[in-house]
Every structure is written in structure tokens, then in C-alpha cells.
Amino acid sequence: MTRSPERPRRSKRRLLLWPGITLILVGLALLGYVAWEFWGTTWVSHRHRDQAVRQLRHAWHQGDATVKTRWGNADALIRIPRFGASYAVPVFEGTSEAVLATGFGHFTGTAGPGQVGNYALAAHRITHGEPLRGMPDLRVGDEVIVETRTVTYTYKLTSPGGALVVPFTAGWVIDPALPRNPDGGIEPAQKPGQRLLTLTTCSELFHTDNRMVAFGVLEKSTRTAPVS
């Protein structure tokens, strides 16, 4: 009895079918992961950010300068007019993953808002809300407004957002007193006693080997109207 030539061909097709299905499923999983990282995390972060802002404003209304949230302790709001009138991002103490997934992180040990020294902040440029996605668009003279319960501090940038890129190991940019560039490049004016602001974020969109840095100096302080 002669074997049908169809059987080997069918068996071969079946053997090729499952690896093909597996590759398709892996591809879909990777696409789903990328979609989550780029859009899903930002959607979740915006919801958490809005919740943290409401909690902070409620705490201010109750007379408390700081509020404890599930993401960390928040004590200020950052507004950057160049990023739009609705831009308001909470500042949390520390730079943990939970903090940076929700807003700005304040480098512990650096100056507080309006204080003498360096008020150093970090935030994501992509994913997790992307508070500093527009960092390269910042220009010298742009305002960074730090709102606290009792005082609003207005800093003006002294360096553009995209001009200084350093390795992530460059700790000098978050010096608590006066950052000094060891390479002699961009740095704040070397005047002791300044009230400085430093913004840091990832310089590249798809990996985090380097940091983009911008410096500012306090221009004015205004008493904040009571929160209603």
C-alpha cells in the first residue's frame, strides 16, 4: 500500500504552526509591554498625581505644610509656565521609584524651597507622567514656580534645559550648597549664599545613562493666599 504524500506535508505544517503562533504571541506581549510603559504608566501616573495634588491642597487647608501619601511625603507643587497653565506637579521627599512614578523627587539633604543652597529635584522625561518631557524646550529666563502652603517661590533658569548633559554618576550637580562643574562648563554663578534650583532628568528617551540638567536662581518670594 502506497503512503499518501499529503501526510508528511501535513505533519510538517503542524510542526511549523506552533513556533509561528508562539512568535506571534511573544510579539504581541512585547508590544503590550511597550504600550504599557509609554502610555499606561503615564495614564496611571496622572491619576496618582491628581490625587496627590488634592491631598496636598487639603492638608494646606487644614494648616499642615506636608501630607503623607501612599507615594511619599509631599510638601510643594511645581508649576512651569512654558509647559502650560494646567501644569502642576507635586514634589515628594526622596527619589524612590514610587516618588518618581508620581511627580518630582527632592534630593534628600539638599536645600528646601527658597532656602540658601541648592534645591535639587528629579523627574522622569518619559513614562510615568513625563513631568520633564519638555526639558529641552526650557530657555534661560523661564520660570519654575514652587508653591508651598505659605510661600510661592519663583525661580528663573540661568541655563537652558538641554545644554548640560552629565553622566548619572555626576554628583556635583546636586551639591547641597553650590554646584561647581569640575570640567569648567555650565554651572551656577559661583556666589556663595545663593538660593538655587536644579532640575535633573534623563537626557535620552530610551535609556538612562546620562542626565540633562538645568540651573535656576530664586527671583522672588510671595506669600501664598490661604487655601480655600
Q: What is the pTM (predicted TM-score) of this model?
A: 0.80
Residue 217: Cβ within 10 Å count: 15
Per-residue pLDDT of the chain (228 residues; tens, 9 = 90+): 455 556 666 665 555 555 655 556 555 454 444 443 444 555 566 688 899 999 999 999 999 999 999 999 999 999 999 999 999 999 999 999 989 989 999 999 999 999 999 999 999 887 656 899 899 999 999 999 999 999 999 999 999 999 999 999 999 999 999 999 999 999 999 999 999 999 999 877 666 689 999 999 999 999 987 555
CA distance 80 to 89: 9
CA distance 153 to 144: 8
Question: CB-based contacts of 189: which residues, under 8 Å, 6+ apart?
Answer: 158, 217
First to last CA, the chain: 93
* Residue boundaries of the structural domains of the chain: 10-223
CA distance 81 to 79: 6
Mapped onto helix, strand or coil, the DSSP state of residue 120 is strand
Residue reference for cell 496611571: 44
Mapped onto helix, strand or coil, the DSSP state of residue 12 is helix
Fold of the domain spanning 10-223: Sortase; Chain: A; (2.40.260)
Backbone phi, psi, residue 122, to 5°: -130, 150
CA distance 202 to 124: 7
Whole-number CA gyration radius for the chain = 24
